[in-house]
Amino acid sequence: MNFDSYTDCGIEVAVELVNSDSREDGDLLPDVAALRALLQRHAVSGVGRLTAQELGEVRALRTRLRSIFEAGDDAEAAQLINELLVESRALPQLSSHDGEPWHLHYTSRDAPIALRLAAEAAMGLAAVLRVGGGERMSTCADDRCRDVFVDASRNRSRRFCSDTCANRNNVAAHRARRRAQATSV
């Protein structure tokens, strides 16, 4: 799947937000400073002072984004994405600030940060659903993990969020096979 870099940004924001509520590592968005760092990593422009209330709104958003990854089918995922687009009042506008090439902003820079992120993330996930289908929005197959990912593999074969989860499951499967062989002799 090939999107432009700005669409990729929306997808990455969605994935990082959902995974900031981690089963293994706890809450990776514990305070306003962590939210500011996340916004900087994703080059979100024009961020002013952040409040505890805004942090709460972003935390609520990640729960809703997770439900898109966990949706039972494309129709359900589409409905959840559409709800976010309506609520964030996404209105595409071309922009070329700070010497960047022309790209789309979906909300104004003075909109509340949770709505800006909601619009970016929803547009990114909308592109995934449209181009690749909702099945590409997946949850890690490792029981200890619940991180989500977008499967961009050609044959939609990816099962784990990361190499870490893939490797430890390969190791576990290998050990289980060896145990099975040992007991069957």
Q: Quick check: 140 binds Zn ion (CB under 5 A)?
A: yes
Residue (31 or 100) nearer to Zn ion, CB: 100
Distance CA 58, CA 149 (A): 19
Joined together, the tokens standing for residue 97 give 């600030």
Q: Quick check: 9 binds Zn ion (CB under 5 A)?
A: no
Q: Quick check: 119 binds Zn ion (CB under 5 A)?
A: no
Q: Quick check: 145 binds Zn ion (CB under 5 A)?
A: yes
- In whole angstroms, the minimum distance from the beta carbon of 22 to Zn ion comes to 9
Residue with tokens 């197959």: 141
Among 128, 147, 151, 169, indicate the residue that binds Zn ion (CB under 5 A): 147
Q: Quick check: 117 binds Zn ion (CB under 5 A)?
A: no
Q: In the chain, what is the straight-line distance between the N-terminal and C-terminal CA atoms, in Å?
A: 47
Q: Quick check: 129 binds Zn ion (CB under 5 A)?
A: no
Query: What residues contact residue 133 under an 8 Å CB cut-off, 6+ apart?
Result: 74
Question: Which of the stretches 25-33, 34-42, 52-60, 135-143 binds Zn ion when contact is defined by CB under 5 A?
Answer: 135-143
Please give the C-alpha separations between residue 10 and each of 2, 74, 122, 177, in angstroms, as whole numbers.
13, 19, 7, 41
Residue ranges binding Zn ion (CB under 5 A): 140, 142, 145, 147, 161, 165
